[in-house]
Structure 1
Amino acid sequence: MLNFIKGILIGVALVIPGLSGSIFAVVVGLYDQLIEAVSELRREPRRHLLFLLPIAAGAVLGVLLSTKLTLVVTARWPLASYAFFIGLMLGAAPFIRRKMALVRWRPQYLLLTVLGFGVIYGLAQLGGASSTELVTIARLSRIQDAGMMAFAGLFSVSLMAIPGVSGAIMLMVINQYGTVYNAVSQLGDAARALLRGNWAAMGTALQSSALLIPFMVGALIGLLAIAKLMRSLLHRFEGQVYYAVCGVVLAAVVILIQTGLTPHWPSGWLAPIALCLISAGVGIAATLVLDKPE
């Protein structure tokens, strides 16, 4: 049950530009196990599927529930929402520190932290604000559309498997964020049309949702490819990888402050600061609770 809840959090993170599903997997203490399970899936499918399925089910539910809801909540209550996300990030500090302690500290490892910060912060600047609403492909009608969606899945998910890289931002870079999340939202529209018996509306919605099929094929290929690389790095240089992850988390916090707090900061100071501190505290507490074995 706990892994299902962790999966929901990862799914929510997949929707919000600037947040990373992989860094949330780090936050809730699942990243290493996920990479291991995906890499070894063919060798021990039953054991790894039993681990992966509740997380995957939670992630799918998180995406479906939050595609519209989370974006509405962050738009209506940005300070509380983004402060909570920042708290989730900061709550991962004890976990990351434990991983960094696996290797003896050396000054040159700080370069990995700087590199992690610079890469993620730089990638985040590539996504344009208008890209969140741009729907470049409305429905699956040509082979080129399927090819573009497969590439979008391969590109975004393979990079997203690297801790801290936001899949949403990667979709913005190739101008497919609006397309993918429009297709996801159409699943809900199709279900509502089915319940009303409106077959025409359901068919139209399913045409858009069909874009997700080639997207998921590309995503699966990308995930399997990058998982083996990350597994090798974690086995050989786990402590050093988390020095870079430390920089990634710091970059994520800065990005969330810039994109979520700064543009919506009101003229006053006392009430907003109190609100952000409380929300961040709740986020930190949530991460500390989730950073436990099943």
Structure 2
Amino acid sequence: MEWKNIYRGFLIGISDLIPGVSGGTIAFILGIYDRLLVSISGFFSREWKKHIRFLLPLAIGIGLTLLLFSKLIDFLLKNYHQPTQFFFLGLIIGVIPFISKQAKVTKNFRFGHFILLLLVGAALASTAFIKPEDASVITSLTFQNTIGLFLAGWAGSMAMLLPGVSGSFVLLLLGVYGTAINALSTLNIPIIIVIGAGVIVGFIVSSKAIHYLLGRFTNSMFAIILGLIVGSIFVIYPGIPESGTPFVMSVIAFITGLIVANMFNSADTSTT
């Protein structure tokens, strides 16, 4: 078992709790994005034993984080919203040079790739102007909301695997985010199982599709990924903080995010 994946799962799990922050981006920062796609898509193959050594510790880290830190993240977003967002903003901006280097942008990108990057970035950035309506929190299951929660989990997990696209933000747009956070913080097992089943199915389907497209249309997919990451900056940008303590905390959080991204990028470069 690759037990070091527990801490990687911890970081991915934290990001997946926050609307606007992508678990796929964190996987890129950690240098495990390609392998994550291969392992998820290969889990239901004859080589499942090889992949479970990678996935199980990662799933343990993500699962523990979702259960243990849902209340903390909810507290931070309510009481220290801007510093929390600026930390992840630093992480996201810090990963752009790393992915650009992986994609060999200056060598492989043509004019069309830059246009694709800008169009995708603008499309995602435009979602920053969407204000989801408050939805009531679901605490008990009916046939109708079971189907809805399952499909919402599916949609959210597909977004989680795409760098720059936040699964939590998709749940927010669908009006399910409050239900998911409440279920995790109160250990509402039936709700967790339904949403979790949708997440698992979404992971299996989307990982195969993304892995295929990355292999077949590498440069275009990197252009889309970079566009999604750039666009997500506008989605999670919380605005200019007030002067004084909020401003100082936000600056420190942003710089810390940049440093953490650089640390992971440097570690990944040294091991490849």
User: TM class, shorter-chain normalised?
Assistant: 0.7 to 0.9
For 1:99, the aligned partner's letter is Q
Assess if the C-alpha contact under 8 Å between 1:121 and 1:251 holds in 2. Answer: yes
Q: Which sections of structure 2, spanning at least 5 residues, go unmatched?
A: none
Corresponding residue number in structure 1 for 2:157: 157
Give me the whole-angstrom Cα distance separating, in 1, the residues matched to 2:39 and 2:95: 22
Shift of the 275–145 alpha-carbon distance from structure 1 to 2, 3 Å rule, reads closer
1:62 aligns with 2:60: no
Corresponding residue number in structure 2 for 1:177: 177
Corresponding residue number in structure 2 for 1:100: 103
Write the mapping of 1:245-284 to structure 2, written as runs, cut at 5 A. 245-257=225-237, 260-262=238-240, 265-266=241-242, 268=243, 274-284=248-258
Write the mapping of 1:103-252 to structure 2, written as runs, cut at 5 A. 104-128=108-132, 130-131=134-135, 134-135=136-137, 137-140=138-141, 142-187=142-187, 208-252=188-232
- Pair member with larger Rg: 1
Deviations 1:213-264 (A, max 9, x none): 122222211211111110011112233322222222222222222xx344xx
Structure 1 runs of 4+ off > 6 angstroms? none
TM-score of the aligned structures, taking structure 2 as reference length:
0.87
Give me the whole-angstrom Cα distance separating, in 2, the residues matched to 1:4 and 1:118: 34
Shift of the 179–74 alpha-carbon distance from structure 1 to 2, 3 Å rule, reads closer
Give me the whole-angstrom Cα distance separating, in 2, the residues matched to 1:167 and 1:31: 16
Assess if the C-alpha contact under 8 Å between 1:127 and 1:169 holds in 2. Answer: no
Assess if the C-alpha contact under 8 Å between 1:116 and 1:248 holds in 2. Answer: yes
Give me the whole-angstrom Cα distance separating, in 2, the residues matched to 1:281 and 1:80: 11
Give me the whole-angstrom Cα distance separating, in 1, the residues matched to 2:64 and 2:30: 17
Give me the whole-angstrom Cα distance separating, in 2, the residues matched to 1:277 and 1:184: 31
Corresponding residue number in structure 1 for 2:91: 88
Which SS does the other structure have where 1:138 is aligned?
A: coil
TM-score of the aligned structures, taking structure 1 as reference length:
0.81
Deviations 1:42-89 (A, max 9, x none): 221111110111111111122122211012123322333222111111
Give me the whole-angstrom Cα distance separating, in 2, the residues matched to 1:275 and 1:183: 30
**1:117 shift after superposition:** 0.8
Which SS does the other structure have where 1:139 is aligned?
A: coil
Which SS does the other structure have where 2:109 is aligned?
A: coil
Write the mapping of 1:281-292 to structure 2, written as runs, cut at 5 A. 281-291=255-265, 292=267
Shift of the 261–126 alpha-carbon distance from structure 1 to 2, 3 Å rule, reads closer
Give me the whole-angstrom Cα distance separating, in 2, the residues matched to 1:273 and 1:185: 30
| Partner residue of 1:26 out of 4, 10, 28 | 28
Shift of the 225–127 alpha-carbon distance from structure 1 to 2, 3 Å rule, reads farther
Shift of the 129–31 alpha-carbon distance from structure 1 to 2, 3 Å rule, reads farther
Q: Which sections of structure 1, spanning at least 5 residues, go unmatched?
A: 188-207
1:47 aligns with 2:50: yes
**1:109 shift after superposition:** 1.0
Which SS does the other structure have where 1:227 is aligned?
A: helix
Assess if the C-alpha contact under 8 Å between 1:124 and 1:169 holds in 2. Answer: no
Deviations 1:127-173 (A, max 9, x none): 52635xx31x2112x32232222112122212332222211121122
Give me the whole-angstrom Cα distance separating, in 1, the residues matched to 2:246 and 2:148: 43
For 1:177, the aligned partner's letter is Y
For 1:281, the aligned partner's letter is I
Which SS does the other structure have where 2:111 is aligned?
A: coil
Which SS does the other structure have where 2:175 is aligned?
A: coil
Assess if the C-alpha contact under 8 Å between 1:38 and 1:48 holds in 2. Answer: yes
- How many residues are aligned here? 264
Corresponding residue number in structure 2 for 1:192: none
For 2:185, the aligned partner's letter is S
